[in-house]
Amino acid sequence: MSQQLSEQEIIRREKLDALKAAGIEPYPAALYPVNSYSTDIKNGFTEEQKDAYANVCVAGRIMSINDKGKVFFIKIQDSKGIIQLYVRRDDLYPGEDKNEWEVLVKRGLDLGDYIGVTGFVFVTKTGETSIHAQSLTLLAKSLKPLPVVKRDEEGNVFDEVTDPEFKYRQRYADLVVNPDVKEVFLKRTKLVNTIREFLNEQGAIEVDTPVLQAIPGGAAARPFITHHNALDVPMYMRIANELYLKRLIVGGFDWVYEFSRNFRNEGMDRTHNPEFTVLEWYTAYKDYFWMMEITEQLFERIAIALHGTTEVKLGDKIINYKAPFKRISIFDAIKENTGIDISEMDEAGLRDVCKQLHIDVAPSMGKGKLIDEIFGSTSEHTFIQPTFIIDYPVEMSPLTKKHRSKPGLVERFELMVNGKELANAYTELNDPIDQRQRFEDQVKLMQRGDDEAMFIDYDFLRALEYGMPPTSGIGIGIDRLCMFMMNQVSIQDVLFFPMMRPEKFDE
């Protein structure tokens, strides 16, 4: 099937043919010696230091063209910003032959083309720092027009392209026409680097663990299933890396962490994507009280690194990440919001409460899932400022150590911010006999129809039988943390390429 081209796309291909016919290579392979960048030039240039800017070489994408006949004013966008080029015919082609000026500059250039320019920096009569071009090279011809975005003389953007279908599916074009989008991802990198610096300073070691797993362990979630042809066995995409990191604690590491790409075969919404990034770390000889304190320190440091303050704007709210954070048990949180004390209730009592509160629950749900539904429906959304929800019932936490002083509970916390979970942490269960029983209880839930119940990982049980020291661990959702730290309303806005339904093409 032939490719369906728009009128503009046809015209650009005709220009491409004309360039080739004139001996101008539209996609040259040679090295282009860039030595300067737009923002650095505009911030650093002065008349007193103009000699240092007498031979700059820049490259970027054409964002505007102003044809004045024998002079062109062209604005290009490089990786740091936008700068104006002053392009004069007699400077580029001082001899008699002006054919290349006509073919390349006059008729061959389009918005979106990549060009390279050498020249010297000066300030125009209107006060704009610009580059007086002495050579111009076409580096890549653009065959598809970019969406039109208006900018004023100061570079402010008007009529920004906001269509989600375009933004998320064609992120490569979105990054070009919406400069604020790029800033989000630069801040994401800064956030991740801040975490790495913090953990490395503490003596933690970054590691890698398998993405393809024979047992999808470490979380209650529905996995993606694939097949290993050579071994002829089913495999699962990682839903969590927890059990592998704990194996390393068994092996003698005191503190390990990983930025884990996880996959969960579940729904998508503004705060969930089936493929996502989680930071998990595990530290020997620590407990969840220590983990709360170190987590407060980390979040405070991230906020200051990104914003210079612990107060971060999120929608119409200001979230303050200044330590210490509030702490409240899950039962007290539910009682505070419903007036109902569920701490001593069995499964039948919890189902009655769900009915009373008009919470839909499935027959397959056990006690832990019912409590989770009650908390999620009545209480979770009320915790806007950073709050540790602590001391969960044992049924909700198959991998967590039983509470040292509160029977029926475990030493676990979830960090809530803006009504959503940002982190989940435990004093880790290191009793292999207790862990085996918890896994077996999960199998019973699976037999009742709970497709998120955990599998039994016999190798992990074997590892625990060798002995794992007292350990605390945490998982932090990096994508959601980026949303909250960068004032973004959707997880798709902090992912370069979020999951979307496959696109249908004409050919």
φ, ψ for residue 319, nearest 5 deg: -95, 125
Whether omega for the bond prior to residue 363 falls within 30 degrees of 0, making it cis, is no
Task: Return the closest-CA partner of residue 430 out of 468, 480, 387.
Answer: 468
- 121 and 41 in contact (C-beta within 8 Å)? yes
> Residue 199 has which token pair?
């953990």
Q: Residues 408-425: what's their mean pLDDT? A: 95
Q: Is the pLDDT of residue 21 over 90?
A: yes
Residues 133 and 15 in one domain: yes
Q: Residues 225-231: what's their mean pLDDT? A: 96
How many Cα atoms are found within 13 Å in the side-chain-facing hemisphere of 329?
Answer: 14
- 334 and 340 in contact (C-beta within 8 Å)? yes
Q: Residues 11-16: what's their mean pLDDT? A: 97
Nearby residues of 392 by Cβ (< 8 Å), 6 or more positions away: 330, 371, 400, 409, 410, 412, 414
For residue 150, what pLDDT is reported? Answer: 61
- 298 and 190 in contact (C-beta within 8 Å)? no
Residues 397 and 448 in one domain: yes
- Whether residue 296 lies inside any domain: the answer is yes
Task: Return the closest-CA partner of residue 378 out of 330, 325, 445, 316.
Answer: 330
Last residue of a domain, one of 111, 128, 146: 146
Residues 202 and 66 in one domain: no
Residue 299 is part of a domain; what is its CATH number?
3.30.930.10
Question: pLDDT tens-digit profile of 66-89?
Answer: 999 999 999 999 999 999 999 999
* DSSP code of residue 272: B
- Whether residue 374 lies inside any domain: the answer is no
- Whether residue 151 lies inside any domain: the answer is no
Phi-psi region of 487 (alpha: psi -120 to 50; beta: other; left: phi over 0): left
Question: pLDDT tens-digit profile of 284-337?
Answer: 999 999 999 999 999 999 999 999 999 999 999 999 999 999 999 999 999 999
For all residues of the chain together, what is the average pLDDT? 93
**DSSP-assigned letters across all residues of 387-435:** EEEEEEEGGG-TTBPBPSSSTTEEEEEEEEETTEEEEEEEEBP--HHHH
- Whether residue 276 lies inside any domain: the answer is yes
CA distances from 285 to 130, 241, 252, 289, 413 (A): 60, 20, 12, 12, 18
Residues 399 and 292 in one domain: yes
Residues 197 and 123 in one domain: no
- 3-state SS, 103-151, equals HHHHCCCCCCCEEEEEEEEEECCCCCEEEEEEEEEEEECCCCCCCCCEE
For residue 358, what pLDDT is reported? Answer: 95
How many residues are given for the chain?
A: 507
Residues 34 and 111 in one domain: yes
> Residue 132 has which token pair?
């007086």
Residues 15 and 108 in one domain: yes
Percent of the chain residues past pLDDT 70, beyond the cut? 97
Q: Residues 204-230: what's their mean pLDDT? A: 93
How many Cα atoms are found within 13 Å in the side-chain-facing hemisphere of 272?
Answer: 11
Q: Domain range spanning residue 37?
A: 7-146
d(CA 269, CA 62): 36
**Residues facing residue 281 across a β-bridge:** 257, 474
Residue 115 is part of a domain; what is its CATH number?
2.40.50.140
- Whether residue 182 lies inside any domain: the answer is no
Q: Is the pLDDT of residue 1 over 50?
A: no
d(CA 381, CA 287): 27
For residue 347, what pLDDT is reported? Answer: 93
Task: Return the closest-CA partner of residue 281 out of 306, 253, 258.
Answer: 258
How many Cα atoms are found within 13 Å in the side-chain-facing hemisphere of 291?
Answer: 30
Torsion of CA 10, 11, 13, 17, to 10 degrees: 130
Residues 64 and 206 in one domain: no
In the chain, how many domains are there? 2
- 279 and 262 in contact (C-beta within 8 Å)? no
- Whether residue 111 lies inside any domain: the answer is yes
- 304 and 298 in contact (C-beta within 8 Å)? no
Neighbour-count burial of 424, counting CB atoms closer than 10 A to its CB (0-12 exposed, 13-18 middle, 19+ buried): buried
- Whether residue 13 lies inside any domain: the answer is yes
SS3 84: strand
Residues 100 and 245 in one domain: no
- Whole-model pTM? 0.89
- Whether residue 378 lies inside any domain: the answer is no
For residue 158, what pLDDT is reported? Answer: 56
Q: Is 9 annotated as a binding residue?
A: no
d(CA 352, CA 405): 29
Nearby residues of 345 by Cβ (< 8 Å), 6 or more positions away: 353
Percent of the chain residues past pLDDT 90, beyond the cut? 81
Least confident among 95-109, 349-363, 421-435, 448-462 = 448-462
Q: Residues 263-290: what's their mean pLDDT? A: 94
Q: Residues 460-489: what's their mean pLDDT? A: 96
Q: Is 507 annotated as a binding residue?
A: no
